[in-house]
Amino acid sequence: MAKLAINGGTPLFGNNEYQVMPWPPVSEKTADKLREIYLSRAWSFNSPVEQEFEKEFAAFHDAEFGILMSNGTVTLECALEALGVGPGDEVIVPDLTWIATAMSVRYVGATCVFADIDKDTCCLSPEAFEKAITPRTKAVIPVHIYAGMADLEKIIEIADKHGIAVIEDCAHMHGGKWNGKGCGSHGAIGSFSFQQSKAMSAGEAGICLTNDQKLAERLYRAKHIGYSRYDKQGQAGTPPPQDLICHNYRGLALQAQILRDQLVDFPALNQKHNEFHDLLEKELAAIPGVRLQSQGRLATRQGYYSQGVIMDGDGFEKIDSEKIRAALAAEGIKAINTTYGPVRKHLLFNLKPEDYRLDPAGYANSDAIIPHMMVIMHYGMTDMENAARFAAALKKIADNKSELM
């Protein structure tokens, strides 16, 4: 008789047990402030609330300047533009990320080069990055993916040796610190997303961080159709540099207000995510063949979009993670996703072969790990008992693996 609920057995948990935090969070206090902004008609064009949020978010990540934009894809595009990346240049990105990272390279007319991931953090492998460098390489975009931090120390050392700019994609790493210093402030520019599902969310929006005043000014002009930060609306004081393509990628005061309020609560939320990680690590230690995506060698405070769980030993390597995820759902475990998969295989990444470059040696780590990885979404990581529930369900699956083969 089947034991696993997916095959007709009794589910381990009922509908009300593994609960997730409703996301994004809402509050009456923020709703009141949004009403005020709405009635003020000051919705856009570098409003005071936008400037405040930029300063606060930058300071939280140890950066000097913040430039709010409409999402975390155009932040990457503007970062590349601000650094002067364009046609003829190559930009190295990890094989595992959301397609936006790779598409931003295409938007500026450069060639995207995919490099393999590290088998523990699942972020860009420093060795694969170095191997992918050519005389045309102008930038690299390490992505801090799910709950892993790219090895910034090694990546920046290699990049500096070759004169390559580093753009940190921190769409998953709000609040993260590497070696005591905030994510997004280590390379030339850091990029964050505040899209609906992210750990800080305004539905849409993104921000670039930098410590370089010149880059801050170029980023600002790039998102504000060429205006300088010091210009009043409709009164351009000086022209943008001719080499800089400028867009309208402005953010809104309404988004900034939502994010300002979330930032006040964020350290406590992040603390819960970190505690959840530690509990989960202990719980999963009892299940052979299962490991957590590791945090990064010099991570001093982790951010969590989600927590990667890799099931690649003790027979699990014969079962696709999609099957395990379905089995977990049947046991009552919610908000577990599969990974994005390798970008080069994503249905929406449909560029001409000449528009990107692959490693002829292949992608050993990402091809081995991604089919056996799933992610626990951050909004399931605030109830500490969910760690034990998740582990119990995975243990049940481990004990009855043959039912899934």
In angstroms, the CA 213 to CA 194 distance is 23
Out of 82, 89, 92, 97, the only residue in the binding site for ligand PLP (CB under 6 A) is 97
Q: Choose between 5 and 171: whose C-beta lies nearer to ligand PLP.
A: 171
- As measured in angstroms, the least distance from the Cβ of 73 to ligand PLP is 3
Question: For the window 46-85, what string marks contact with ligand PLP as x by the rule CB under 6 A?
Answer: -------------------------xxx------------
Q: Is the dihedral angle over the CA atoms 166, 172, 175, 178 positive or is it negative? A: negative
Map tokens 């969910």 to a residue: 386
Segment interacting with ligand PLP (CB under 6 A) among 78-86, 167-175, 223-231, 376-384: 167-175
255 is a contact residue toward ligand PLP (CB under 6 A): no
- As measured in angstroms, the least distance from the Cβ of 258 to ligand PLP is 14
In angstroms, the CA 169 to CA 150 distance is 10
Question: For the window 169-188, what string marks contact with ligand PLP as x by the rule CB under 6 A?
Answer: x-xx----------------
156 is a contact residue toward ligand PLP (CB under 6 A): no
In angstroms, the CA 75 to CA 86 distance is 15
- My answer on whether omega of the bond before 353 falls inside 30° of 0, hence cis, is no
Torsion of CA 330, 331, 337, 339, to 10 degrees: -100
307 is a contact residue toward ligand PLP (CB under 6 A): no
In angstroms, the CA 355 to CA 360 distance is 16
The alpha-helical segments, DSSP class H, found in 41-188 are 48-60, 74-82, 99-107, 126-132, 152-162
Length of the chain measured in residues: 405
Segment interacting with ligand PLP (CB under 6 A) among 96-104, 286-294, 360-368, 390-398: 96-104
Report the alpha-carbon angle 165-110-226, nearest 5: 75
- As measured in angstroms, the least distance from the Cβ of 161 to ligand PLP is 26
**Which residues inside 222-241 make contact with ligand PLP, applying CB under 6 A?**
none
Out of 80, 100, 102, 330, the only residue in the binding site for ligand PLP (CB under 6 A) is 100
Determine the residue with CB nearest ligand PLP: 72
What residue ranges bind ligand PLP (CB under 6 A)? Answer: 71-73, 97-98, 100-101, 143, 169, 171-172, 193, 195, 206
